[in-house]
Amino acid sequence: MNNIWGDMAQYDPVTWNWVIAVYLFMAGLSAGSILIGIGMRWYSKEGNKESPILKASAIIGPVAISLGLACLVFDLTKPFHFWLILVNYNFTSVMAIGVAALLAYTPLGIAYALIVLRDDLPKWKLGFLSPIGQLLLPFRQVIEVLLFILAIGVGAYTGFLISAMNAYPLLNTAILPALFLASGLSAGAAGNLIVALTCFNSSAGDDDVTKLHGLDLPVIVTEIMFLVMLFSSLYFTGGAAAESLASLSQDIWASVFWYGVVGIGFAIPILSMFLPSSTRHTKAMMITVACCSLTGVLALRHFIIYAGQSYIS
Partner 1 sequence: MNKRYVMVHDENKCIGCQACNIACRSENNVPEGVTRLQVRVEGPFGEAPHLHYKYNRVSCQQCENAPCVEVCPTGAAYIGDDGLVTIDDDKCIGCMYCIAACPYKVRFINPVTKAADKCNFCKDTRLARGEQPACVTACPTDALYFGDANDSESEVTNLINTKVTYQEKTHLGTKPRIYRIPTKRGGIES
* Contact residues for partner 1, defined by CB under 8 A: 3-7, 9-11, 13, 15-16, 75-78, 81-82, 84-85, 88-90, 92-96, 99, 164-167, 309, 312-313
3-state secondary structure (DSSP) of residue 275:
coil
Buried b / exposed e across 259-273, counting CB within 10 Å, b at 16+?
A: ebbebbbbbbbeebe
Rounded to the nearest 10°, the torsion over CA 285, 290, 293, 294 is -140
| Nearest to partner 1 of 104, 291 (CB atom) | 104
Q: How far apart are CA 25 and CA 41, in angstroms?
A: 24
| Nearest to partner 1 of 156, 162 (CB atom) | 162
- Give the shortest CB-4-to-partner 1 separation in angstroms: 6
| Nearest to partner 1 of 96, 242 (CB atom) | 96
- Give the shortest CB-78-to-partner 1 separation in angstroms: 5
| Nearest to partner 1 of 237, 272 (CB atom) | 237
Q: How far apart are CA 133 and CA 113, in angstroms?
A: 8
- Give the shortest CB-12-to-partner 1 separation in angstroms: 8
Phi and psi at residue 44, in whole multiples of 5°? -85, 155
- Give the shortest CB-120-to-partner 1 separation in angstroms: 37
- Give the shortest CB-303-to-partner 1 separation in angstroms: 17
CA atoms within 13 A on the CB side of 281: 15
| Nearest to partner 1 of 122, 239 (CB atom) | 239
Q: How far apart are CA 32 and CA 300, in angstroms?
A: 15
- Give the shortest CB-22-to-partner 1 separation in angstroms: 15
Q: 77: burial class by Cβ within 10 Å (0-12, 13-18, 19+)? A: exposed
| Nearest to partner 1 of 9, 276 (CB atom) | 9
**Which has the closest alpha carbon to 148: 271, 60, 36?**
36
**Which has the closest alpha carbon to 60: 113, 137, 16, 23?**
113
Q: Taking a C-beta distance cutoff of 8 angstroms, is the pair 185, 36 a contact?
A: yes
| Nearest to partner 1 of 88, 277 (CB atom) | 88
- Give the shortest CB-152-to-partner 1 separation in angstroms: 21
Q: How far apart are CA 231 and CA 241, in angstroms?
A: 9
